[in-house]
Amino acid sequence: MINYLTTLISAAPKNLITYSEYMEATLYHPELGYYMKNKEKIGRQGDFITTSNISDIYGRITAKWFAGICLTNKLAPVFCEIGGGNGRFAHAFLQEWQETIKTPLTYIIVESSAYHRELQYELLKDVFSIVQVESLGELKAFDGMIFSNELFDALPVHVIQKEHGQVFEIMVGIDNERLYEEKIPVTNQELLSFLQVSGIELKEKQRIEVPLTMGNMLEQISQSLTKGFVVTADYGYTNEEWKQPARASGSLRGYYQHKMITDVLKYPGEMDITSHIHLDWLMQKGDTVGLKLFAKLRQDEFLVKAGILKELENHYDPNPFSEVSKRNRAIRGLIMPSGISSYFQIVIQQKGLNVTQQNVFIE
């Protein structure tokens, strides 16, 4: 990877690339990129963990919730997951659908990594039927739901910083295989436009990520959906939260062997790089591309509204070592105030519909 970066940066104007270009290379290069490599990334042997890999309850609850939405709103049962990872969420979703819902379903996984597509296929092929594509552009527009879990936080971002009243872009250079940062005055007007449109006013020396790629992804998502819902599960900050002193250095960081790395120029191609998403801009940009905001909830609030407490009511076993008890502990872990769900937000957007809370959440 370092040889590739040396060539890439040497060919760039002023021998500097943006952080977005750096992340695109180190995360998504077809052979050298972190997400594209044939190595485990999720779970104990990887670098990070997701909600769907803690328990199957997340996928199962989502399946029941989606089935109810389809029935109530006469929506086509087409569920599209972007970035399916190792397939654990899809497996839980499809297992629940097969066991309790038992109606026709089209399940689509959009996955750019050939390694992850193979993991998904091996996990699901013997029992479930799925459609796998590399990109949204391969699909015809459909009615249904588009779902993503920790997708936007992994997309490339630009990094800007305000100094002496001027906005600079943080660029990446290389010298004798050592990567370094360099500030240049912003020349990309899209970055300044983002600040103006989003309403974010940087304080002196504040650094922040600008998610232009997320905006492009939202446009693709909207173009892929004729009618239905877009559900985004991710961690992020509102504009008010970005103003807090603790956010002054931005949120870009890496995860390497389950350790947080603040210097994201370390371990290029070997480390996950992520940033908190701009929640207000996700909703604002969505509205401009036809995705009307329906609700924004913490993940634990969403799970309660989606019916997770009924799972506790319907399944009880006094034996603390039984599978039922283990499952119940997993459920409690997802809805406890200090649990993993408290760090995640669920943003639900709708297109071509005008539904009420009663049409989506049947508590």
Long-range contacts of 185-193 (CB under 8 A, 24+ apart): 186/160, 188/18, 188/158, 191/158, 191/160, 191/167, 192/167
**From the CB of residue 320, how many other CB atoms can be counted at a distance below 10 Å?**
9
Predicted local confidence at residue 329, as pLDDT: 72
Half-sphere exposure for 275 (CA within 13 Å, toward CB): 27
Predicted local confidence at residue 282, as pLDDT: 97
Predicted local confidence at residue 336, as pLDDT: 73
- Strands 277-278 and 236-237 come out as parallel
Domains and CATH numbers, the chain: 1-32+158-210+236-275 (no CATH), 38-151+224-233+300-363 (3.40.50.12710)
Predicted local confidence at residue 311, as pLDDT: 74
Q: Which of 68, 228, 249, 81 is nearest to 142 (CA)?
A: 228
What average pLDDT does the segment 226-253 reach? 95
Q: Could you tell me the pLDDT band of residue 27, with boundaries at 50, 70 and 90? A: very high
Predicted local confidence at residue 50, as pLDDT: 55
What average pLDDT does the segment 206-235 reach? 97
Rounded Cα gap, residues 243 and 202, in angstroms = 8
Predicted local confidence at residue 258, as pLDDT: 80
**Is residue 228 packed enough to be buried (19+ CB in 10 Å), middle (13-18) or exposed (0-12)?**
buried
Find the range with the poorest average confidence among 10-24, 25-39, 314-328.
314-328
The neighbouring-strand residues paired with 209 are 159
pLDDT above 90 covers a percentage of the chain that reads: 76
Decide: 219 and 200 in contact? Cβ < 8 Å: no
User: What H or E segment, with its residue span, contains residue 233?
Assistant: strand 225-234
Half-sphere exposure for 12 (CA within 13 Å, toward CB): 18
Q: Could you tell me the pLDDT band of residue 51, with boundaries at 50, 70 and 90? A: low
Q: Which of 12, 3, 55, 58 is nearest to 31 (CA)?
A: 3
Rounded Cα gap, residues 169 and 70, in angstroms = 45
Predicted local confidence at residue 317, as pLDDT: 63
Predicted local confidence at residue 308, as pLDDT: 83
Q: Which of 74, 136, 132 is nearest to 106 (CA)?
A: 132
Decide: 52 and 89 in contact? Cβ < 8 Å: yes
Higher pLDDT, 208 or 319: 208
Q: Could you tell me the pLDDT band of residue 124, with boundaries at 50, 70 and 90? A: very high
Of the chain, the end-to-end C-alpha distance in Å amounts to 50
**Predicted confidence (pLDDT) per residue in 67-81, tens digit:** 999 999 999 999 999
**Predicted confidence (pLDDT) per residue in 256-314, tens digit:** 888 999 999 999 999 999 999 999 999 999 999 999 999 999 999 999 898 888 876 55
Predicted local confidence at residue 77, as pLDDT: 97
78-82 sheet: strands from edge to edge: 131-133, 106-110, 78-82, 142-149, 225-234, 345-351, 292-298
Q: What is the mean pLDDT of the chain?
A: 90
Decide: 252 and 19 in contact? Cβ < 8 Å: yes
Decide: 210 and 191 in contact? Cβ < 8 Å: yes
Both tokens of residue 342?
Answer: 């408290």
